[in-house]
Structure 1
Amino acid sequence: MTTAPFLSSSWYRVAQLRPKLRDHTSIYRHRYRGCIWYVVQDHATGRMHRLSPAGYMIVAAMDGVRTVDQIWHEVGSALAEEAPSQSEAIQLLAELSAFDLLQTEVTPDASALVARAAKAKRSRWLGNVLYPLALRIPLWHPVRFFERTRPLAEWLFGLPGAVLWLLVVLPAPLLAAQNWQELTADVSDRILATDNLLLLALVYLLLKTLHEFGHGFAVAAFGGTIPEFGVMILVFAPLPYVDASAASAFRSKWRRALVGAAGMIVEVFLAALALYVWLTVEAGLVRTLAFDALAVAGVSTLVYNGNPLLRYDGYYILADLLEIPNLAQRATRYWGYLVNRHVFRADGSKDFVAATGERIWLLLYAPTAFLYRQFVMLAIAVFVASQYLAFGVLIAVWSLLTGVALPIGKALWFVLASPKLQRNRARAVAATFGMILAVGLMLFLIPAPSYTTTEGVAWLPENAIVRARTDGFARVLLVHPGMNVTVGEALVESEDSTLKAELIILRAHVAELETRLAIERFTDRASAEITSTEIGQARAELATATDRAARLVVHSRSEGTFAVMKPQDLPGRFLREGQQIGYVLTPGSRIVRATIRQDDIDLVRHRLRSAEVRLAERPDETLRVESIREIPSGRDVLPSRALGGAGGGAFTVDPGDPEGVKTLQRVFQIDLVLPEIAPAATAFGGRAYVRFNFNWEPPGQQIWRRLRQLLLSQLQV
């Protein structure tokens, strides 16, 4: 840390100036994290500037009569050892002047003012071009409107309004949960349908207008003013906005947070009303409008406005509750300070001033917000591209250029050209490009573990499943459940009265034909030949019927313990051929039938190294897999309902399937044979967790594969 001298050689340039704040400023006293700060509000631009107590003493003494030198000496006498240095006083004056908050008796340099205004204008338009999410166009000055409607605002944000809001909103989540499948079925097709886009735009505009009026009424309810109403760009879509910066002057952080939440409070209220309309009316225009309102209010509140990682309502609420003004800017500056101080070791870097507990929030916020912004923009790009490919690709490219490429370019330019690194340029360049090289090696050259996880169910070998061998009514269990059986032992006997009668008839018919043949053999050789053929056919039919009768008795195909679900219900029940009756459980002969997505089947076939299984009832015990058998062709049916979303599994199933096993995408089934020493599962069909370990490969290749699969699956190309 470098310490500036207490006296400055440039002091003579400002010592005799008689400054004062401009008339369009106001100062408010706030307490942030136990420390006193003073907020300067610029009513001309809506900006807020924070001053320390020492800085405030200097600014408060600026009356246009006393000189800067007199003010500095007075403040120094009052603060003693805590007095600011002349360099710090000069810096404060420079910053106030840069924001056009200061006026003196000296005629300002017109060329400097013009240059500064032109630079600000270029920065503003450049920001609008590069970051269209921040474009603002003022249209209306609604000060009088909100002053006249202040009584309504006080009612809405008072106890009556709170009671009304709770009565309307509280039942809505329960109703939404009960109708969740219908609400979310084909949501992208319904929202992005061509004939719905205009309706969606109108609903969006109306909801966002009411959202912004919510902010305005909240400010008015607590005595603030709304100087500006206009249009801004949010995710490439226009919507209204109000300038609620007057809330920064409120001393209570809870009031400031309530102003930030007011728009979401309005949207949640409207979303609840839209849900009630959607549940009440029949299919048609009104129901479509209600669904659009529900979707817009819900998504915008959860993903954008309510999320503090984006600089919308949730961000300002978090900053107010944490008592860290300008959280995003300070987090970015803090990371810059850390890099300059500890990596580049730049000369003249000042210590970063932060209150107790602020640094950890600043350290975490910047990277988390950056990653979330990119995730949201890419998610929007994929969502839009699923219906409109060109627009989705445009959003993705724009997001990568402005969110990733441009910041990296600025950082590299700073390292290569910034005067602050003049003496440490070699170290800064070496550290920067060394870090780039290290990241490149880690991503694309150094192998890393590669694996995928899925779910399965405890399964049995086919010869352990007891199935009916032909149609019939179960008559009796020949072996009590729970007893040990051997291979070939009879387990269940069924009966078929029709088959029984057929056997009697066939036997009698065969006997009749045999008697006829004995007579005709000596009297009519031609008739004997015909009868002989008929006997062959009758005997074949009798053999078939006899075989069917024999298959009414089911035998065990393996050795183990006989098990039947609800054995008391089995006698008298009709069993179709192949229907499952029970199991013969053999310790150690256990299979896990896993279902894997189509995206990962190629890895399992060609890059599999090993597989591991954990049973749900033994999550701390990992079982190795002896062998793997794949069912060659893909299918759209799960082996068990437990693997589908309705059964708590990870696979999305068709909402219209009553069995809950029909998947929306093709899946592949794989049988994993567990070793003989593996403990038997508690019950056939129990859940298991499977991990497939593949050959190691660099993380960059793994990330690229997953992104490519995501795009191909979402874009359906």
Structure 2
Amino acid sequence: MISMSQSDASQHSEADPRTQQPVPPLRDDLHLVEVAHERDGEPAWCIEDPVTNRFFRIGWLEFEILRRWGQSPERICHQIQAQTALEPDVDQILSMVEFLDTHHLLRPDIATVDRFAAQANERSPWLKASWWLHNYLFFRLPLVRPQHALRGMARALPWLFTRACVVSVLLLGLLGILLVVQRWDRFTHAVVEAFSLSGLVSFACALVVAKSLHELGHALVATRLGVKVAHMGVAFIVLWPMLYTDTGESWKLKGSRQRLAISSAGILTELALAGLATLGWVMTQPGALNSALLYLATTSWVLSLALNSSPFMRFDGYFILTDVLDFPNLHERAGGQARCWLRRNLLGLDESWPEPFSRSHRRALVLFAFATWLYRLVLFLGIAVAVYALFFKALGIILFVVEILWFIVRPVTQELSHWWSQRQAVPGRFRLAWLLVAMGLAALLFIPWQTSVGGPGVIHSARAITYYAPMPAKLERRHDDGKVDKGAALVSLVEPDIGLDLAAQQVELDNIDAQLTGLLANPKGEAQLSAAQARRLLSLSNIEAHQREITRLHLSAPFAGSWQRINEQLLPGQWLSPREPLGVLIDPEHWVVEGYIDQQDVHRLEVGSPVRFFIEGQTTPLQGELVRIAPSRTRILNQAMLAERHGGVLKTQQDSGGNGEPLQLEQPLFAVQARIDSPWPETREARGRLHVDAERQSLAARLGTWIAAVAVRESGF
């Protein structure tokens, strides 16, 4: 349905010869049907085109014009002014003629017939790119003409429309929801388990069932209210199939509550199905039926509440809203108000409003139009990305460009072209303001303001040693936390077996020494002297080895620093594993930052550049200098605290980091290292943001670099 708006009339001069000639005749097969009044009480009608099954809503002025059709526009205008309270001008009459001609509602003349014949004799339309474009974006495929069957179903199911049925279904659905809330853990577990290949197929089958009943609900209610359902079928929006029901004749109904019943029937049917399926899932045992009810319930709930209820697309939520407000063509009329608001406030054009509304009503329409545009922008961008991902790369790029150009660039270009056509009418102060805005944007885009490159990082000591027991041993003594001098004892361990072996070796050495003393005194012992000396050397070697092992059990500080115990529960006398950390010795005077920089920014960095490191929760940065830039990208994340799973910002692969393996980044980055010269009073590692002074770069250059990088990355077909 398309409503006429008076302010969209073209500006014609009074000398236009068309004002003196009779208007072209209307088609004989058109029907004029009176419909519900407008909100302000003004009567309204619909022009029914039985050929295309389209309906055009018109107001009082358009009706009065049609009553006097066949005369010249000037005579029609004078008669309306003299016989009614309306005061139209000739331009509005000519605008009505153009409107009827545009939508092929006028009786075709010879020239028009010849033009249509020429078009029919042309080559097949599917050979044209325009045909593929329009049919790729949207086309309908009628499948059935169900009017006869619907009348039979409406007569056979009168109880379906009774209050008792509605109340029963509502109570059963609420009971199902309450029971599911009590079994919420089981329900969520079942939903998670359903996401498999077979589960996705089952969800698709449930979707077909739910949407079929959804459309049947529209059709049955429309039939019961006397509205003809011309056909039902599948509509393809960007190649995505959606069932549809043609209830266009519902605009013949005078009551908005009747139209509301038709538009809300689909969602109500689907919600009733969801409620009953939810109750059925609770009442049945695990099995095929239980799984089918789960798929049906979840599919119906999600699609009804998340998709169909949205008023920003022409789904059920939109038609429900227009019927509740009794405000047909909400999108078009709100868009017209918003475009006029932009022209008046941004360009200062003295353009009349498309329709007269109160200030609060107009403000609500403008805000709704802005919300609709923003919603569609996000949705169309998402569809474009999805289309690019679903097809092979070459076709995906073409379809992506078509999506962006048709749904986003085209509407913006059309509005900007109107602005350009009205540039002479823009007041001087608005021209000056736009000139200043343009200059500001140019300066923002093309002047190289950006002087730093940032990335996540971790500050840690330049020298840090984590101490472990060199062998299974017993803890004897451990130094308290705090500053330690170079050579200070940090941990003392005891391994009793080594001490026993050392004592045994010492006794054996004493015995060998006594034996050597006797052999030296006995002239006959020269033959055994060399063997005893060899045993003595072996015993000395074993003693030295045991002494070295004992020395390893006494851990000391190779440099002055800060000692931090890791496990405070370790007490003297406990046995320790070589894998259990005992403490960390760090150098509190020298700190470095390990950071990660994106590929598109690393070329702007140089070793020696000043850096600033902002620690999380602090506003004063630490100053330093860049000392190292990795020669290539890496996927290894050495600083685990930067991973998203540990509270950081870097995304890592889900299957990495197990069994002691390093974390793997989803997107490879360049690792950099910076030396911190500012004092860092805390002796701990900390996350933060690293900023490196880099070569200046404008936003436009940065955008160009990003586009070039994407083009290079995606150019491998």
TM-score where L is the length of structure 2 = 0.69
Point out the more displaced range, 393-402 or 701-710.
701-710
State which of 344, 367, 386 in structure 2 corresponds to 1:379.
386
What is the deviation of 1:467? 1.4
Q: Name the counterpart of 1:430.
A: none
Structure 2: distance between partners of 1:244 and 1:688: 59
The answer as to whether partners of 1:230 and 1:240 remain within 8 angstroms in 2 is: yes
User: AA paired with 2:386?
Assistant: A
The runs of 5 or more residues in structure 2 that have no matched partner are 1-6, 425-434
Indicate if the aligned counterparts of 1:643 and 1:651 stay in contact, CA closer than 8 A: yes
Corresponding position of 1:431: none
| 1:654 match: secondary structure | coil
Which residue number corresponds to residue 132 of structure 1? 136
CA contact (8 A) 1:128 1:135 kept: no
> Tell me, what secondary structure is at the counterpart of 2:36?
strand
Pick the aligned partner of 1:62 from 63, 67, 71.
Answer: 67
Alpha carbons 2:337, 2:353 under 8 Å: kept: no
Match of 1:428 in 2: none
Q: Once the two structures are superposed, what CA deviation does each residue of 1:277-307 show, in whole Å capped at 9, x if it has no partner?
A: 9x9669xx998x9999899889978997676
Cα-to-partner distance string for 1:89-136 (whole Å, 9 max, x where unaligned): 34235424543567xxxx763653675799899799946534513111
Identity level (%): 16
Q: How far 1:230 moved relative to its partner? A: 1.1
User: 2:256 corresponds to which residue?
Assistant: 251
Distance in 1, Cα, partners of 2:686 & 2:319:
48
Which amino acid counterpart does residue 242 of structure 1 have in structure 2?
A: T
Partner SS, residue 61 of structure 2: helix
In the alignment, is the contact (CA less than 8 A) between 1:474 and 1:570 conserved in 2? Answer: no
- Structure 1 residue 85, shift from structure 2 partner: 1.9
Q: AA paired with 1:502?
A: D
**Deviation per residue, 1:576-634 (Å, 9 max, x gap):** 4464333457766555544567x56955877996654333332x444444445568884
User: 1:233 Cα deviation (Å)?
Assistant: 1.5
Partner of 2:552: 551
Do structure 1's residue 209 and structure 2's residue 212 form an aligned pair?
A: yes
Distance 1:262 1:480, change over 3 A: same
| Cα distance in 2, alignment partners of residues 398 and 439 from structure 1 | 35
Mapped pair 1:404 → 2:373 = no
Looking at structure 2, the residues matched to 66 and 138 of structure 1 have their Cα atoms a distance apart, in angstroms, of 40
Q: Number of residue pairs matched?
A: 676
CA distance in 2, matches of 1:537, 1:322: 103
Structure 1 residue aligned with 2:231: 228
Question: Which of the two has higher C-alpha Rg?
Answer: 2
Q: 2:356, 2:639 → 1: CA distance?
A: 58
Preserved contact between residue 637 and residue 665 of structure 2 (Cα < 8 Å)? no
The alpha-carbon distance between structure 1 residues 634 and 340, as it changes in their structure 2 partners (threshold 3 A), is: closer
In the aligned structure 2, how far is the partner of 1:691 from the partner of 1:263?
Answer: 57
CA RMSD of aligned residues (A): 6.2
Task: Summarize deviations over 1:519-552 as a string: whole Å, max 9, x none.
Answer: 5677666765555555555444433432332332
Judged with a 3 Å threshold, the aligned counterparts in structure 2 of structure 1 residues 617 and 98 are, in CA distance, closer, same or farther, namely closer
1:89 maps to which residue?
93
Q: Given the alignment of the two structures, is residue 677 of structure 1 paired with residue 676 of structure 2, yes or no?
A: no
**Residue of structure 2 in register with 1:498 after alignment:** 497
SS in 1 for 2:31: coil
Quick one: distance in 2 between partners of 1:537 and 1:604? 64
Counterpart of 2:67 in 1: which secondary structure? coil
Equivalent position SS for 2:398: helix
1:22 & 1:440 partners in 2: Cα distance? 53
Deviation at 1:401, TM superposition (A): 3.4
Q: 1:579 to 1:456 in 2, by over 3 A?
A: farther
Partner AA of 1:236 in structure 2: L
Letter in 1 for 2:543: L
Contact 1:472-1:496 within 8 A present in 2 as well: yes
Aligned 1:647-662 pairs, distance under 5 A:
647=647, 649-654=649-654, 662=663
- Residue 494 of structure 2 aligns to which amino acid in structure 1? E
Letter of the 1:505 counterpart = A
Against the structure 1 CA distance between its residues 527 and 647, is the aligned structure 2 distance closer, same or farther, given a 3 Å change threshold? farther
| Equivalent residue in structure 2 for 1:242, among 222, 245, 251 | 245
CA contact (8 A) 2:635 2:665 kept: no
Rounded to whole Å, the distance in 2 between the matches of 1:320 and 1:242 is 17
Residues in 2 aligned to 1:586 and 1:556: alpha-carbon distance in whole angstroms: 11
User: Counterparts of 1:578-589 in structure 2 under 5 Å?
Assistant: 579-583=580-584, 589=590
Change (3 A) 1:509 1:296: farther
For residues 176 and 608 of structure 1, the distance between their equivalents in structure 2, rounded to whole angstroms, comes to 59
2:431 maps to which residue?
Answer: none
Name 2:617's counterpart in structure 1: 617
Q: Secondary structure at the match of 1:663?
A: strand
Residue 242 of structure 1 and its aligned partner are, at CA, apart by 1.8
Q: What is the deviation of 1:88?
A: 1.2
Amino acid in the other structure paired with 2:569: Q
Per-residue displacement from partner, 1:138-194 (whole Å, max 9, x unpaired)? 12233454551575367799454455555556859965996699679xx8xx66xxx
Distance 1:646 1:271 in 2: 40
Q: Quote the Cα distance in structure 2 between the aligned partners of 1:215 and 1:496.
A: 84
Partners of 1:360 and 1:201 in 2: CA distance: 36
The letter for the 2-side match of 1:549 is I
Change (3 A) 1:251 1:689: farther
Q: Which runs of 5+ in 1 are unaligned?
A: 425-433
Distance 1:3 1:96, change over 3 A: closer
**Cα distance, 1:56–1:700 mapped onto 2, change above 3 Å:** same
Aligned-partner residue type, residue 395 of structure 1: G
Give the Cα separation in 2 of the matches to 1:604 and 1:137. 55
8 Å Cα contact 1:589-1:674 kept in structure 2: yes
**Structure 1 SS opposite 2:233:** strand
1:541–1:635 Cα change, 3 Å? farther
Distance in structure 1 (CA, Å) of the matches to 2:44 and 2:314: 23
**CA–CA distance in structure 1, aligned partners of residues 709 and 269 of structure 2:** 38
In 1, Cα distance between equivalents of 2:304 and 2:712: 29
**Residues 475, 493 of structure 1: 8 Å contact kept:** yes
Range that drifts further, 578-587 or 372-381? 578-587
- Offset at residue 400 of structure 1 (A): 0.6
Counterpart code for 1:680: E
